[in-house]
Amino acid sequence: MAALIRRVGRCGLRADTGREPFESLVRAIAHQQLHARAAEAMLGRLVAHGDGGFPTPSALLALPDAARRAGGFSGSTAAAMRAVCAARLAGVVPTRRQAVRLSDEELIARLVALRGIGRWTVEMLLIFSLGRRDVMPVDDFGVREGYRRINGLVVQPKPRVLAEATAGWSPYRSFAAWYLWRAADGPKPPASCPPAF
């Protein structure tokens, strides 16, 4: 890890602390199983229905199905977005002010019950929206791949193994995850390396 930090340099992890959890979750749902550019284009069409900003949960729920289809979202994606909107209005999805008072595990337990929201999605919310410093998303492919590369492993570690191996990096595991993503994005091993079977 020290060699990776020296190679990559200063950590560039930044949280978008002005974004409400509701918006972060809707955006995360839009990005599921889509290329980032496609998701952003579709979100742009969705935001066009807002009043100069991201639409409120009520405004999104009030959108006719034709408008959602015109935005390009699949039926299941639109249903997951509607579920998040309804959960925000019911108080299940907290405001930013409420969220900062909840622990990581409290937020995860509350939000994974929603359609289309898994632990990884909530962990991305914790890191990139709420700025939590001690989150290790062990289910993330890039994090596991980065760990595999810096440790010269043949296969990626299982999530439980990775959680145990990185426990000592607490309370800065979010920063460690950022570096592991950089390792996963780095150059591939030379062709002379034996294949990983």
Residues 99, 22 contacting (CB under 8 angstroms): no
Euclidean distance between the first and the last CA atom of the chain, given in angstroms as a whole number: 24
The residue behind tokens 């995360």 is 28
Q: 53: alpha, beta or left, given left = phi > 0 and alpha = psi -120 to 50?
A: beta
Closest CA to 133 of 15, 17, 1: 15
Structure tokens that stand for 38 in this block:
């496609």
Tell the burial category of 117 from Cβ atoms under 10 Å away from its Cβ (0-12, 13-18, 19+). Answer: buried
Closest CA to 115 of 71, 158, 83: 83
Tell me, yes or no, if 140 is annotated catalytic: yes
Residue 174 φ/ψ, nearest 5 degrees? -65, -40
Catalytic residue among 16, 65, 140, 185: 140
Residues involved in catalysis: 140
